Chain A
Amino acid sequence: MNLDDIFDLVSYRIHPEAHIVVDHTTCPSCSHRACTFSCPARCYEWSEVRGRVDFAYESCLECGTCLLVCDLGALEWSYPAGGYGVRFRAT
């Protein structure tokens, strides 16, 4: 599944503020970086340059995978504000 085109495939109403906040100070001590491969929307990417996980919330599918694979508690996790976020097609 090529996620480069995710915004063509999935409809979103994007909130100006992120609904998930990553505590980047935790990332360097993470041994698995599971968020970078298990997130179905590839919202998390490891940045060698910055030595931390870069996070982009816009394409989030709101599944909760990241919250459950992060065992360091680095995520302040919430669903997007009411009416925002992904909107799956009705037809």
Chain B
Amino acid sequence: MATTYEAIATVTVGSGGAASIEFTSIPQTYTDLLVKYSLRDNVTSGGASNNATISFNGSSANGTSRELYGNGATAASASLTNAKVDYHSSANATANTFGSAELYIPNYTSSNNKSSSSDGVSETNATTALMAMNANLWSQTAAITSLSLAPSGGSWVQYSSATLYGIKNS
């Protein structure tokens, strides 16, 4: 049976933190991409949950997102001007907890605009935690060769990690 789901690369943030995680020279030999994250930023303002910006080929321009989110009591929706993966834990979340998220990008080598979907949850045992599903659109026709994930402020803290997978349809 053919291998259709392969881990391409994994990265874990070191003790100095990182302003972003970036995968470059992405092989163009798969059908779809999947990125799974375990993330926490060092932002102390606001709540325990933050969102992250996705950039493709070095640019976050021309990205939009439609989001459905909730906190266990209230659900709502929003339109965003950047492609997003929501949510991950901030510095206000319970110590040593990390949010979990994944981003699926079908047909990343096509010459059409690139759609993607993501879902993510923050993690905290003390205050409101948020979860969200996003439908993203990157209105660029270039094949995706690099992908970056940055917190909406501050840096990823040590032990944040991300794995990029390649998916083949046969």
Chain A bound to chain B: no
Contact residues of B with A, CB < 8 Å? none
Contact residues of A with B, CB < 8 Å? none
